[in-house]
Structures are given as structure tokens and as C-alpha cells.
Structure 1
Amino acid sequence: QAREFHKAVPLTGLVVTKLDGTSKGGMVVATQQELGLPVRFIGVGEQADDLQPFDPRAFAEAMFSEPESKD
């Protein structure tokens, strides 16, 4: 999908929302590498204020950290 959209409308970066699992995190990396575009923002909630500038280090740490216990 992203590739076809990029062909029609040249993109300068990616905005990624609905990051609620590590498989989605892998999708972010694959899409970024395939298109050669930087991830600019990520959505961390449902409101417009929940868009945050993308921090690659924090993203990688979150992907590889242990899930928090809900005790």
C-alpha cells in the first residue's frame, strides 16, 4: 500500500499510528527501509495531541524490552 501511494504522491516521510504490537513495529522498519523514507511521527493514542516526533532509540528500546507486568 505504501509503495503504491508513494508512486502516486511522492512522500518525504512516514507517520505511523496504531503501534500496539511488536509485529507492527517490524512493519514500520520494513516499510521505512523499502521506501527509503524517515519515520517522522508516531501515534501513541487516539487524539491529535498523541502524535509525537519519532525517536528511533526509544522505539528500538520499546521493541526489545520486556512487557510490563499488570500485577
Structure 2
Amino acid sequence: MGFYVDDIEAAVAELRARGVVFEEYEGCVNGIMDIRGNYPSKGRGERAAWFRDCEGNMLGIAEVVR
């Protein structure tokens, strides 16, 4: 499941302050991945971050890059 946010940096910081641990993949900077060309109908790309809930399900947050 994923959620769009207006400011991914602020959302990541707030969730980390609450104890959320973000996945780290090659290319991530501070847990955030720049994805160029993803969902071109919404913008020129997005920035995304992923984490797992208490049951191990992957969740994501993303900010559209216009």
C-alpha cells in the first residue's frame, strides 16, 4: 500500500521520530529514492520511501516531482 504526501522529507522525519525504520536500497539517500519517469501523467517522476508495518507488510510514501 502506498500513500502520497506533499513533503516526503518532512514525512520521513516525522515517521522516524515515531520509531519507523525505512528500507535502504541502492540509490536511496536518507531512505528516499528518486524515481524519474514514474507515473508520467502526474509529473516527471516521484520520490519514494518504504517501510514495513508491525506484521511485515511493505508500505510506501511518495511525493510527485513536477
Relative to the length of structure 2, the TM-score reads 0.28
Higher share in helix? 1
Higher share in strand? 2
Highest RCO, 1 vs 2 (Cα 8 Å, sep ≥ 6): 2
